[in-house]
Structure 1
Amino acid sequence: MTAHLHVITGGPGSGKSSLIHALAADGLSTLPEAGRAIIQQQVETGGDALPWADRLAFAEQMFRWELRTHRTARARQGPVILDRGLPDVIGYLRVCGLSVPPYLWKAAKVLRYHRRVFIAPHWPEIYAQDAERKQAPQEAEATCLAMSEVYTRLGYELIPLPLASLSERVRFVRSHLEQR
């Protein structure tokens, strides 16, 4: 059996990471997102590859992280659920108004995921800022839209997650994984 890489994308604060943790607790193979880990590492070491300091450097760090994540996921068996993917870096750059380097588009076209991508819609009722999530709600919503546009442009089919409890979202994802 080979790995089947399934991405969960969307804007910040839409419940993606909570869903990833719940899916892992439910026995699925998962890999975390780049953003929070990079921010924590940069703050800890005094780096400036941060979304509020050097967005381009932050995007480059995310790109490297997503390349490693893709390689790691490919080595696993069965379904692997990823908290974001390479196209998310493109979406981030677009939201920031920064140009997307051609090598990033090429990587996103070559290093593919399952054709159906889960997207967590912007959900104002659960959105909250914290030490790593400093975006205004409008930027979170714009990020969700950018992710939708990028994944669609790359030929993926988007499966919107329901605005529902965590257990309902887990059941929803599992039911779609079984359909493949």
Structure 2
Amino acid sequence: MSSRFVVLSGCSGGGKSTLLGELRRRGYATRDEPGRRIVQAEIAAGGSALPWVDLEAFARRAIELALDDRERAGDWAGWVFFDRSLIDAVAALDPVGADASIGRLPITHRYHPAVFLTPPWPEIYETDAERKLGWDEAVAEYDRLAQAYPKFGYRIVVLPRASVEQRADLVLAELANCPQQVGSIGR
């Protein structure tokens, strides 16, 4: 387990990427969401590993990318914040089914025990070329993740609907109170 690897997850359009950007601005190491990177690459290449075309292919690519992100971040010092994680990708396969080896990945590749979830927030939710989930689908995704993380032994911290600065302060305060705290880069 790498208790330095901190996950921001939750509802699509709930402010995860904005929060990640704020943490990056404060000098912390970050990894952007695998799903967004996959969608951008697939659209550019005319591919079909898109969540609205082939969810299974998309989720399997997200698993590969999440594992690669963890490996690349292994040598970085301090907290590393991930916009989504391996658990998100594995949970996306639940509706289409996954083999047992995929179901074991979140057990062997651990993150910090506290996972920060952004709840559904209709006032900021919007779709775009890379996020085509409707509101109801986004809420269902949040519910699925809120159930998946505890199944793998994580403690959920639901972030308030607040400014990005307040959310970042809350995340950092929560981590400062954890025995796994190892500090930050750029500080």
TM-score > 0.5 by shorter chain: yes
| Superposed displacement of residue 138, structure 1 | 0.6
Runs (4+) of structure 1 exceeding 4 A deviation are: none
Report if aligned partners of 2:113, 2:154 keep a CA contact under 8 Å in 1: yes
Count residues with an aligned counterpart: 177
Q: How does 1:12-161 map to 2 (within 5 A)?
A: 12-94=12-94, 97-161=95-159
Report if aligned partners of 2:3, 2:112 keep a CA contact under 8 Å in 1: no
**Aligned equivalents of 1:78, 1:167: Cα separation in 2:** 20
CA root-mean-square deviation: 1.2
**Aligned equivalents of 1:17, 1:131: Cα separation in 2:** 16
| Superposed displacement of residue 3, structure 1 | 6.5
Report if aligned partners of 2:3, 2:113 keep a CA contact under 8 Å in 1: no
Any gaps of 5 or more consecutive residues in structure 2?
A: 179-187
Query: Counterpart of 1:177?
Result: 175
Report if aligned partners of 1:15, 1:120 keep a CA contact under 8 Å in 2: yes
| Superposed displacement of residue 107, structure 1 | 0.8
**Aligned equivalents of 2:75, 2:3: Cα separation in 1:** 7
Once the two structures are superposed, residues 42-65 of structure 1 have per-residue CA deviations (whole angstroms, 9 ceiling, x without a partner) of 010111101111111111110100
Report if aligned partners of 2:62, 2:89 keep a CA contact under 8 Å in 1: yes
**Aligned equivalents of 1:124, 1:102: Cα separation in 2:** 36
**Aligned equivalents of 2:174, 2:73: Cα separation in 1:** 19
**Aligned equivalents of 2:117, 2:153: Cα separation in 1:** 14
| Superposed displacement of residue 105, structure 1 | 1.4
Give the aligned residue type for 1:61.
Answer: R
Once the two structures are superposed, residues 7-52 of structure 1 have per-residue CA deviations (whole angstroms, 9 ceiling, x without a partner) of 0110210000110011100111111111111001001011110111
Report if aligned partners of 1:87, 1:150 keep a CA contact under 8 Å in 2: yes
Give the aligned residue type for 2:150.
Answer: T
Percent identical: 36
Report if aligned partners of 1:3, 1:78 keep a CA contact under 8 Å in 2: no
Give the aligned residue type for 1:87.
Answer: I
Report if aligned partners of 1:3, 1:76 keep a CA contact under 8 Å in 2: no
Report if aligned partners of 2:10, 2:146 keep a CA contact under 8 Å in 1: yes
TM-score where L is the length of structure 1: 0.95
What secondary structure does 2:116 align onto? strand
